[in-house]
Amino acid sequence: MLCSSSSSLRPHLLLSSIGDGLSHFSKPLHPFIPIFNLGNMHFSIKSSINDLFFNKRKAGLNVNKKQLQPGKVSPCLSVPDQIARPPYVGTKFFPEFGTGSEVHDMKGVECMRASGKLAAQVLQHAGTLVKPGITTDEIDMAVHQMIIENGAYPSPLGYGGFPKSVCTSVNECICHGIPDSRELENGDIINIDVTVYLNGYHGDTSKTFLCGDVDDKAKKLVEVTQECLLKAISICAPGVEFNKIGKMIQKHADKFKFGVVRQFVGHGVGRVFHCEPVVYHYRNNERGRMVLGQTFTIEPMLTMGSTNPVIWSDNWTAVTQDMSLSAQFEHTLLVTENGVEILTQC
Ligand SMILES: [Co+2]
């Protein structure tokens, strides 16, 4: 959850109308927060004239799919009192993007391994639930239950007011979809983004799952997005520049003519949910190198068409401007002597 100019929960968000043209990204304000709060202004999905125009264009990009619509969001779920909360829970403000990077000693590494493993197990379980007819709200309930049963807190719940325990991003939703009453349909793709807070450490991971029979174009998008993540992971090691990640991802996406979303970024993660470094998924010349013992995420979002996000009036749900499909994969990584260890795998 981070937005790029300002966040994955919120990758950084830029003004969507100029997003692709921006070369001067300011530092992310917050992973979960758009720089410009477009939701309540002119970009409401239902009212935008642009949408009418872009809907006509979506035929080849989101074949036979209905435009995603907001469903009903159920009341907040509770967390037992004995489970420790991250410091942002119960505050009205978006947490600051942490300026210190997460570099761990042996004990910290063990805590990161534990939270990463739990996040991966929860994500794996959530994936088994994906089938036509299940609601994203039911997936949220299952995720919430499994996290609290393991003595952890679901990091998205209460993060800057986010109302649910997991992000569920269907079809043209790039990220930060709020679980609701919508039933998954045959042919949908859905990203499930799980973050858990266990013993004071966050573990953050997401995957895009196929629901029923998915057409070949969408399958290819999902496959290539996962390849982008794995290729980026393969070049990480102490001393490697973070900008190598974006180069690798963009190069592979370009081969298949898929777009790379710029406004949402990877991030440092550990005691803090979102902190430095900012990890861009597209070509860039940002400075900064990986350090032994450091933990961060890589979480590329690829699209079939426009990479510009539009934010719904719920202030969270980010969808592609042209309704083209979007896929995402994410891991939390630990820099080791020879490369990185993927913390978020079972
Ligand atoms: Co993340």
pLDDT-based confidence at residue 61 (cuts at 50, 70, 90): low
The rounded Cα 203 to chain-centroid distance in angstroms is 13
Residue 89 C-alpha from the chain's centroid: 19
Spacing, Cα 317 to ligand 1 middle (Å): 15
Among the residue ranges 86-95, 127-136, 264-273, the one predicted with the least confidence is: 86-95
pLDDT for 47 beyond 80: no
* Domain positions in the chain: 106-342
- 132 alpha carbon – ligand 1 mean position (Å): 27
Residue list, CB under 5 A from ion ligand 1: 8, 204, 297
Which residues line the annotated binding site for a divalent metal cation?
A: 193, 204, 267, 299, 330
CA 222 to ligand 1 centroid distance, Å: 18
Question: What backbone torsions phi and psi does residue 217 show, to the nearest 5 degrees?
Answer: -65, -45
Pick the more confident residue, 52 or 321.
321
Predicted local confidence at residue 85, as pLDDT:
97
Please tell me the predicted confidence (pLDDT) of residue 66: 82
| Residue 57 confidence class, pLDDT cut points 50, 70, 90 | very low
Mean pLDDT (whole number) for 268-272: 98
Give the separation between CA 24 and CA 13, rounded to whole angstroms: 13
Tell me the pTM.
0.86
Mean pLDDT, rounded, for 251-269: 98
Question: What is the whole-number distance in angstroms between the Cα of residue 9 and the centre of ligand 1?
Answer: 6
How far, in Å, from the CA of 302 to the mean position of ligand 1? 15
Please report the pLDDT score of residue 222 as a whole number: 98
Please give the distance, rounded to the nearest whole angstrom, from the Cα atom of residue 322 to the centre of ligand 1.
Answer: 24
**Largest distance between two CA atoms of the chain:** 55
- Least confident interval from 9-23, 140-154, 202-216, 251-265: 9-23
Three-state DSSP class for residue 98: strand
Tokens at 301, concatenated: 């979002």
Centre of ligand 1 to C-alpha 330, Å, is 7
Q: What are the backbone dihedrals phi and psi of residue 223, each rounded to the nearest 5 degrees, phi first?
A: -60, -45
Higher pLDDT, 56 or 280: 280
50 CA from centroid of ligand 1 (Å): 29
Dihedral angle computed from the Cα positions of residues 232, 235, 236 and 237, in that order, rounded to the nearest 10 degrees: 180
Ligand 1 centre from 60 Cα, in Å? Answer: 30
Find all residues with CB under 8 Å of 201, minimum gap 6, and list them. Answer: 108, 111, 112, 114, 115, 270, 271
Give the residue numbers of the binding site. 176, 193, 204, 267, 274, 299, 330
Q: Beta strand 10-11 with 2-3: parallel, antiparallel or unpaired?
A: parallel
CA 194 to ligand 1 centroid distance, Å:
9
The answer regarding whether domain 106-342 maps to CATH 3.90.230.10 reads yes
Average pLDDT over residues 311-319: 97
Q: Where residue 42 falls among pLDDT bands split at 50, 70, 90?
A: very low
- Which residues participate in the annotated binding site for substrate? 176, 274
How much distance in Å is there from the Cα of 148 to the middle of ligand 1? 20
Arithmetic mean of pLDDT over the chain: 86
Q: Please, which residues bridge with residue 154 across strands?
A: 196
Residue with tokens 């029923």: 212
pLDDT mean over 310-318: 97
Confidence label for 94 from pLDDT (cuts 50, 70 and 90): confident
Mean pLDDT of 133-156: 98
Model confidence at 225, in pLDDT bands (50, 70, 90)?
Answer: very high
